[in-house]
Chain A
Amino acid sequence: MKRLKYILHRLLWSVFVLFGLSILIFCIARVIPGDAATMALGTRATEEAKELYREQNHLNEPIPVQYVYWLKSAVQGDFGQSTQTRRAVSSDVAEFLPATLELILFAAILEIVGGLLLGVLCARYAGSWFDNLIRVVSYVGISVPAFVWAILFMLTFSFLIPILPTIGRISAGITVPPVTGFLLIDSLIAGNFQAFGDVLKHLIMPGTALALAGIAQSARITRGSMLENVEKDYVGSEIASGMPLRRVYARYILRPAASPTVAIIALDIAAMLGNAFLVEVIYSYPGISKYGINAILNKDLNAIVAVVLVIGVTFLIVNILVDIISSVLDPRIRA
């Protein structure tokens, strides 16, 4: 009951945060220099066409009035039209968001599994050659940006040892009926395992490039936190009482140590929504990050607002999830 109340409280606050974010980003998008009608229709469009565009999009109204028009439509799921793709922003988001979410979830799995696994192994065998090796390699993982990994992977696995596809989300000639927008899930729904394998292979390079820094970071944090807990008196007494070492590690060392790691991983995953831009550009991956950056560069007002809101919602959801998971892992947080 206490936990439910806590979640409801967080959700209520989220609505206010989103409302504030929408006002902020709406205003910022409107004050970016340049005439939106010209950016949308091209510099050589007739004045009549530009005026028609301004009227249709209420651009001649004061910004507060424009915001009210926008909000009315937005609550009905209509975020207006993108000037770049010339179709509803909601259609664009529906197409590009699942692509990026799929990529991020793939990277997240690598980060969680890889980060925790390496962290636990390093803590368990602290001081061994394996621990030292992983600690050194982690520095490289953290310090090298994702786009450099992306290029290195491409040169290695698409060019030198050509075993992975270079660009896109799925190979030409392979189609999957759209259901969820997540091609891995859609291919399984369709029972098309060839497509599943193909999509998975398209995810390997960009997903790994995105995840590497996170894997290194979470491995180091997990290791550090676990080693801190190893020193605690209660761990010593559990070991002395004859409890199997594996159980001690899982229950009394890893569990309390996982809390900061979970928080870092979760925020890292949310941040990937924005950070995936360069990786999406390099692999020509049709995701929301690339779409968002192009929207900013081309003053695509409606798209900018929608993308920032999507990223905002993602951060809020992730934050709430982190709080819930943390409260499960560490009962002191609920108190």
Chain B
Amino acid sequence: MKKMGKRWLALFLMSVMVFSSCGGNGGDESKAESATAGTGDREKIVRITASFPLQSDPAIGSNSVEAAVMFNIYDSLVFPDVDGTIVPHLAEKWDVSEDGMIYTFQIRKGVKFHDGSEMTAEDVAFSMNRLLAIGEGFSYLFVPYVKEAVAKDDTTVEFHMKQTFGPFVSALVRMSVLNKDVVMANLAEGPYGEFGDYGKAYLLTADAGCGPYRITEVSVSEKMTAEKFEDYYLGWGENNPEKIQFVAVNDSATIRTLMSNRELEITDEWQSMENLNTLSAIDGIDVTNMYTGAVVNLEMNTKIAPTDDIHFRKAMSYLMDYATVTSSIYPGAKQAKGPVSGAYLGRDEDLFQYSYDLEKAKEELKKSPYYDQLSNYPITIEWSADVPDEEKICLLLQQACSQVGITLNIQKSPFATLIANVATPETTSHITIMYPSDSYNEAGSVLALRYHSTTSGTFTQYEWLLNDDIDAAIEDSLQTLNQEERMEKYKKIQQDLIELCPTIWVCEWAEMRAYQSGYLYWPEAEQGKNGGTNAPIMGRSMYCRTMEFRN
């Protein structure tokens, strides 16, 4: 055994030597950075965790990460301010014809694309026509209304409409402008005639934008890195981020390690409350509380028994313990007032709000045809496996249901399964928890996305409302050009929805992300911290150009 001990010692020493010879730790730079946090020597990079793969092509991407990437890489004619106010951006001004069928935009001069060429009206028209032709991403906002875009000269572009669209200018935050020459120079074979693949293959790993950052590296499953575009037309401050990086990390232990080591600046918004609490206990890390428009919805399938009955649905709304959700599950969240968050223009502030009330729930149940046979109708609530806090809501509701004789089964599903399940009313659960984000800052955006029949069977509507009156009212409101009139119509729809009660509107969901407040100033987070309204536009909170590294 002595001999063996010597061999072990030799083996150990050899291992130490081999390991030492491997050189410095790959993370040395980061460690050095963290050691100098706040001294001004830190590399000015903002790293954000995100779901991958992400599509940075403005005609393809449409989830919150992709929207965030577009805000940073591309620019649009108008832009949402920190509180959601729409301000001119690439457009200097615009006019609309009296009948609302032609919008004419004057484009800003001197804006450069990342290749150094100047942006013109031709690029704007090309970008809209490309979006319409591809029919993916945010095209759903424009396809029903916009016929085509035409460049009249270098600085004038016209949008010809199929029908009037009141919030058209607000919706233009979702039309990113591409460099036509770059796209056309990189066409591959594809189904779009002379436009080949419309540059889709090229834009998987490159950009053709004029936004504040330009893509330097895309690894489809790992990360996307962009560096600041020095010639950006709005210029730069001394402490704005030099680089941004979206990284595919979603394991909570990994995120905690990276945040502790200052190798990550901002987490995604799907971290559990436990993880956020742990992170916020670390020096220099804060958690945001940004109300960006999403509402935690318990969407009730109105086409299967017993949730097809309005009184049953109202009973369910009375069984939700809103106070516990807003105090314990999402601390600080506000109880929702109907389907539209307070961040949107056109929300009805006088709407009726349900409250937890067992007696009223029983009263409503008595009016339901299923009252005498509740044991024959167990119901299922389905929640996304990616969002652990949703299970707590399910358990809360399950406990309340048991007090009135309703059997509520809880089912955890991967997000992709939730999307697959909504294919037909029969495959959709009685209740599904979902809180989709929206595209522009008006209530009409939420109402069309959530309750118009065209979105039934998609992950934005598990209710299968299919109500002709609601459809007509939504269409009418969106076509109304007069803003005041439009807002009134939005309010009327919200009142009708309260009556139909297809959803348990639980609370306004705060976008909670842990971030390195010790060395990073983030205007959107500050806005939320001070109780202000954030832009209710998906992805806008991740706009990095206005962030600053603290000295």
**Interface residue ranges, A against B (CB under 8 Å):** 32-35, 38-39, 41-46, 48-49, 52, 56, 84-87, 92, 95-96, 121, 125, 128, 130, 151, 154-155, 158-159, 162-174, 193-194, 197-198, 200-202, 281-284, 286, 290-291, 294, 297-299
Contact = CB atoms under 8 A, between A and B. Distances in A.
A95 B253 CA distance: 26
Nearest to A92: B220
11 contacts: A33-B420, A49-B134, A49-B136, A86-B53, A154-B257, A164-B27, A166-B261, A167-B258, A200-B22, A284-B249, A290-B221
Given A85-B220, A86-B204, A201 B22 contact: yes
Interface stretch (B100-108, B137-145, B396-404): B137-145
Contacts of B415: 297
B25 A86 contact: no
A86 to B, nearest CB: 6
A183 B417 CA distance: 36
A128 B2 CA distance: 12
B486 interface: no
B22 A197 contact: yes
Contacts of B421: 33
Nearest to B203: A86
Interface size classification for chain B: 35 or more
A85 B460 CA distance: 23
Contacts of B455: 43-44
Given A33-B420, A46-B135, A198-B23, A85 B221 contact: yes
Contacts of B253: 151, 154-155, 282
Contacts of A193: 23
A165 B1 contact: no
The 3 closest A-B pairs by CB, nearest first: A34-B420, A49-B135, A171-B26
Contacts of A32: 420
B29 interface: yes
Nearest to A86: B204
B260 interface: yes
Given A84-B53, A96-B221, A171-B27, 20 more contacts: A34-B416, A35-B423, A42-B136, A49-B135, A85-B221, A87-B201, A128-B1, A154-B254, A154-B257, A158-B257, A164-B25, A165-B26, A166-B257, A166-B258, A167-B249, A174-B26, A193-B23, A194-B23, A198-B26, A286-B222
Nearest to B132: A46
B200 A86 contact: yes
Interface string B292-331: 0000000000000000000000000000000000000000
Nearest to A165: B26
Contacts of B234: none
A39 B419 contact: yes
B246 to A, nearest CB: 12
Nearest to B424: A33
B248 interface: yes
Contacts of B250: 281
A314 B258 CA distance: 34
Interface in B397-441: 414-417, 419-421, 423, 427
A290 B248 CA distance: 11
Nearest to A300: B416
B483 interface: no
A224 to B, nearest CB: 20
Contacts of B458: 38, 43-44
